[in-house]
Amino acid sequence: MFVDGAWTPARSGETFTAESPATGEAIADVPLGDRADAQRAIAAANRAAEGWARLSPFDRAALLHRVADAVEARRPELARTLTLDQGKPIRESHDEVEELVQYWRNAAEDGKRLEGRLANSVSAAKRVLLVRRPRGVIGVITPWNWPYTMPAELIAPALAAGNTVVWTPASTTAVAAVALAECVAEADLPPGVFNLVTGPGSVVGDEIARNPGTHGVGFIGSTETGRLVAEAAAGKAAVLELGGNGPIVVLDDADLDLAAEATVTACFLCAGQSCTAGERLLIHRAVRDEFVAKLARLVTERAVLGDPFDEATTMGPLNNDGVAAKMDEHVADAVERGASVVAGGSRAEGFPTDLYWQATVLDGVPPESLVATEETFGPVAPVVAIDSLDQAIELTNASPYGLLAAIFTRDLAKGLEFADRARTGWVNVNESSNYWETHLPFGGRSGSASGLGRVGGSSPLEAFSELQTVVLSDGR
């Protein structure tokens, strides 16, 4: 672990063994942190908070750019570690490392532009300054599907805004987390500004969220865990980016080739382990058969399940037993309810672990089935028939989730109508649901199970800072 500027074991001396989902081999022993370790890191972050906050945004930006420089210098090593620890294909790992650089550089520059304003006073003898101040110590809790970029979405802006950070990553990608922390350590930030504590989320994450020494919390992960974090962090500033079941809608006037191509990316990038995955496909009945045929052909050609270190592989194993078991359950439920298996449909055989799941296309999926109502988080494309734009909107808004949706139509007026009426935080028109840009705000709609606040761009800097009002009087 990295606490107060130094690498350290857990106080208990205990470790846990990290195993690769790709090979099944033990790849590292990781410190098994506990509440005492989290408390030690929080205390260090509080000691460092005032000095870090007093640095100019330009000085902080220079240090954040040094983190990006360290990432760039370690590209091949970071990509290999990510594939070994998470399971995603090496080509995707290289993409994630490239995006990681951008998150650190974006935050560095956004921090320079985090500005207050001059407000008016009722008195001509007074001037009012509204100044942006850091909140203090930000606790960051992150998942395993993008173990580099998702932490960076929160850590980099928190630091850029003048906060110190205590971070705990998902245990199943703790090795990748240590690799990222090595880059931060190499940038030589002041001791205590950045801290990494590995260990179970129910212990370390709960302590970070609950401890009065943290003044804000950033969490990315499942809706269920997000609710626990929100309860533990009650009263603190929070950014919670949670789950999704956002649909891909294909209307009868859509470019079906474009829609099918985008759906392959939407459903099978990172083996479907994405909150923005195409969790359900709402396809107009008039074009459903043609679309399903195109999609099945593309899946057979392009969803190449295999050794994630092979450049020809486009889909690796699932990350852990829990998500594989959910795939088992959701696909079986859909089939029992009448869905037909067009491609895939089961775990693959002949691989080093049983976490390799075939790219699966299901047709005739009932709207009430688990795969159409819950977040499956696996390589599945469930096709639900619809008859109109209105029905697509109704089904979109019937979901408890409200993160992202995509629609394919040649009529941009229909695309805009869908965006106006769909209760999701992001809508893509004629683009994959897995399309995003690092500088744009991303998060769920209010009242949904997809969280609150926004990651991306300057949004987290605003969430992790607050306005201080300063009144200046000339004494009259």
Q: Map tokens 């290289």 to a residue.
A: 94
Q: With contact defined as beta carbons under 8 Å apart, do 262 and 236 qualify?
A: no
Helix (H) or strand (E) holding 195: strand 194-196
Catalytic residue among 183, 267, 270, 275: 275
**Is the Cβ–Cβ distance between 187 and 99 less than 8 Å?**
no
Cβ atoms of residues 352 and 23 within 8 Å? yes
In 293-403, the DSSP E strands lie at 340-343, 360-363, 380-386
Q: Which residues of 167-177 are buried (b: 16+ CB within 10 A; e: fewer)?
A: bbbbbbbbbbb
How far apart are alpha carbons 149 and 145 in whole angstroms?
A: 9
CA nearest neighbour of 461 among 158, 217, 216: 158
State how beta strands 26-31 and 15-19 pair: antiparallel
Burial of 301 (0-12, 13-18, 19+ CB in 10 A): exposed
- Is residue 275 flagged as an active site residue? yes
Q: Scanning the structure block, which residue is given the tokens 């992960």? A: 221
The catalytic residue among 153, 182, 241, 374 is 241
- Indicate if the alpha-carbon torsion angle 52, 56, 62, 68 is positive or negative: positive
Q: Which residues are catalytic?
A: 241, 275
